[in-house]
Structure 1
Amino acid sequence: MEPMAGNAWFYIRDHHQQGPVGLFELKKMFEQGVLSGETFIWTKEMKCWQMAKSHPYFSEDFFLTDYAEQPQENLAGQWKEQQKDTYPYGRPFVRYIARLFDLSLFSLFLITLVSIFSPKFVVASSPIFIFILSLILYILVEAIILSIFGNTLGKSILNARIRTMTGEPINFIMALKRSILVTAVGMGFGIPLINLICSYFSYFDLRKNGKSTWDRQIGTVVLYGQVHVSRILFVSIFPIALFIAGIFI
């Protein structure tokens, strides 16, 4: 068997992290010129994204002759631009606001549902209590959504996808474990102050390693693509507007 032939491969194209594809399909894209030696690639055996031409396996089979025949160019600027597409620090801001958006949307649904059957409960409850309750209940809801649709609405809007290390959509058990860890380790179950501390350490952990603690433990990977600023504003404003509405209503 060829080295890492059984792995799922991911690659950067048009500023999007794409995949998974098998090694055969990846090789065909190189041979047909769809991808080049400057294309960033990644598989679970690799610690980080790197250019295909710098990977020992691909440099021997595809790029050694081509680059030997061409004059050497200064690709420093191009390399820097392409490295932005790999998002080596995990895009913590995108992940955080996507989750807040999903939680806010679920909270709105939950409040509406409870208001129908028990209006007094909603009136008597503080916004913080409702947020913590929504956060805990969302653990199961998110796991169901991820196992059925493969993604949440917030992540879809912000062009992020959750996959296993082999490139497959995550199943219910894996999604449930991930949701529990995100809620506990990443958000401290929404408890004031503890939530801030957990978010602080999770942010710097993601910035340092490129993967969150829960993704490393469970074996999941988050793929990112470029996002228009209008989508970021929409996803950011929705939770804020909902919170303000909860205070004044």
Structure 2
Amino acid sequence: MNTTPEEQAMGRAGQPEAGIEEKPVKTRPWARYVAKQIDLLLLYFVPVLIVGFLVGLTGLFVEPLGYWLDDVLYSDYSYFFDLALGVITILTIYPLVEAAIISGIGSTPGKSLMGISLRTTDGSKLGFGQALRRTYGALILGLGMGLPILTLVAHVLSYNRLKENGITRWDAGTQTRYLSRAVNPFRWIVGIAIAVLVVLANVVLAIAARLGSF
């Protein structure tokens, strides 16, 4: 049976399940959203916790830093400190990790779960530089760098563009081909559960930081 170039481009990034056809798609925004939330949990929140732990650990052994951290974390500026730590992480560590994974396997944990992979226009895997540019484009234009309010605006604008044009700005700008296949309901259940967990965690942490609970 003949296969399309798009089907060939998927390669080993995700073989279709039995009886499920693999095909290129232009939108599927909710699958994208769920996949991104999973990736944020694994590739963003975990690094944030690690960075926060290392900063705190350093403060235990470097006395001036320890005093400074105590002053900041228990002051009215703790929310802004947490926000700055998150923004720095999402603009440095997260892009490097995601780009390395995409250039290596052509997908990410979240995208793999939701049957999504990324390829160049000639069907090959993205190089690290191309994947890094795409990740930064998605972070800035799609996530608003994780900043409150700006994130919501970015979500709405990128969703509308995707529905109208069939492609996101970061995919178009990096000449990335977005490939997808249908997945079974179990994957959707797992993906949605993780996405909801990430959203709730964001809300709880934001409220706690505002109230000075941490």
TM-score, structure 1 as length reference: 0.60
Q: Which residue of 1 aligns with 2:50?
A: 113
Closer, same or farther in 2 for the Cα pair 1:225/1:157, shift >3 Å?
A: same
Closer, same or farther in 2 for the Cα pair 1:223/1:235, shift >3 Å?
A: farther
**Structure possessing the higher radius of gyration over alpha carbons:** 1
1:106 positional shift: 2.5
Structure-to-structure mapping, 1:84-99, within 5 angstroms? 87-88=25-26, 90-99=27-36
- Choose between structure 1 and 2: higher helix proportion: 2
1:169 positional shift: 0.8
Of structures 1 and 2, the one scoring higher in RCO (CA 8 A, sep 6+) is 2
The total of aligned residue pairs comes to 173
1:184 aligns with 2:140: yes
1:95 positional shift: 1.0
Q: Which residue of 1 aligns with 2:98?
A: 142
Long gaps (5+) in structure 1: 1-7, 11-17, 22-39, 42-84
1:132 aligns with 2:128: no
Q: Which residue of 2 aligns with 1:239?
A: 198
1:187 positional shift: 1.9
Closer, same or farther in 2 for the Cα pair 1:182/1:157, shift >3 Å?
A: same
Is residue 107–residue 118 contact of structure 2 (8 Å, CA) maintained in 1? Answer: yes
Distance 2:24 2:107 in 1: 20
State the SS of the aligned residue for 2:122. Answer: coil
1:164 aligns with 2:123: no
Aligned-residue sequence identity (percent) comes to 26
Q: Which residue of 2 aligns with 1:9?
A: 5
Aligned partner (choices 204, 208, 212) of residue 168 of structure 2 = 212
Is residue 178–residue 218 contact of structure 1 (8 Å, CA) maintained in 2? Answer: yes
| AA partner of residue 190 (structure 2) | R
| AA partner of residue 8 (structure 2) | G
RMSD: 2.9
1:19 aligns with 2:15: no
Q: Which residue of 1 aligns with 2:38?
A: 101
Distance 2:37 2:86 in 1: 10
Give CA deviations for 1:142-176 in whole Å, capped at 9, x if unaligned.
11121223211111111110111111110101001
TM-score, structure 2 as length reference: 0.68
Q: Which residue of 2 aligns with 1:52?
A: none
Is residue 102–residue 126 contact of structure 2 (8 Å, CA) maintained in 1? Answer: yes
Long gaps (5+) in structure 2: 11-20, 60-68
Is residue 9–residue 119 contact of structure 2 (8 Å, CA) maintained in 1? Answer: no
Distance 2:154 2:39 in 1: 19
Give CA deviations for 1:74-131 in whole Å, capped at 9, x if unaligned.
xxxxxxxxxxx6644x111211221122112223322332343223769935354444
1:241 positional shift: 4.7
Q: Which residue of 2 aligns with 1:202?
A: 158
Structure-to-structure mapping, 1:32-47, within 5 angstroms? none
State the SS of the aligned residue for 1:168. Answer: coil
